[in-house]
Amino acid sequence: MRNPRPWMRGVVTLTAVLAFPSFAVAQALDACKVLPSADLEAAFGQKVTVAGTDASGTLGGGPMKGATQYSCAWWLGGPVLSDKATYVVVNVLSRAPQNEEETRSLSHYRASEAEWKKKGVPIEVTPIPGGDCRLYQRPESAVTSCVGGAKGRGLVLDVAWPKGVPARSLKPLVDQALRRL
């Protein structure tokens, strides 16, 4: 496999957990029910082409080590696992982040943020209750990543869309997801 894009690491992790269920943890939350396909289709006006599949596992490293992560990914167009894909990924953590380092570690995009800023990639930050959303206008594909928390859990919602999705327009989806935690 060539060097994966930052967003692909989460998808690769999701795929590994699905392929090797012995690594999965007893499920306490179905991440696909946090944002059902019908909600995504209504929000984006586009059919889900690959339905979400739920997976969970224990994070093995970083500041959130030991937290359980529940994940679900949906594709709405383009080739799966490519920069041309239109997709939505939701990750729910068994505990809310306690500090900025933990918040930053929840999003694979934020890990690359300093590098992108040096390259002049525009980043639009929009506060939301309990967190924020960031639109990364990367040349290869725009991604919006929202991080928040509710009910003692952390939430990351990542959306890749051809021209990007303004963070403020994702707020209703984030609100729905946070209510369902």
**Residue carrying structure tokens 């306490």:** 28
Pick the CATH number of 6-180 from 3.40.50, 1.10.3470, 3.40.1000, 3.30.420: 3.40.1000
pLDDT digits (tens, 9 = 90+) for 84-143: 788 899 989 888 878 878 777 777 788 788 888 999 999 999 888 778 899 999 888 889
The predicted model scores a pTM of 0.77
Sorted by where each begins, the domain ranges of the chain are: 6-180
pLDDT digits (tens, 9 = 90+) for 107-117: 778 878 888 89
pLDDT digits (tens, 9 = 90+) for 142-157: 899 998 888 889 899 9
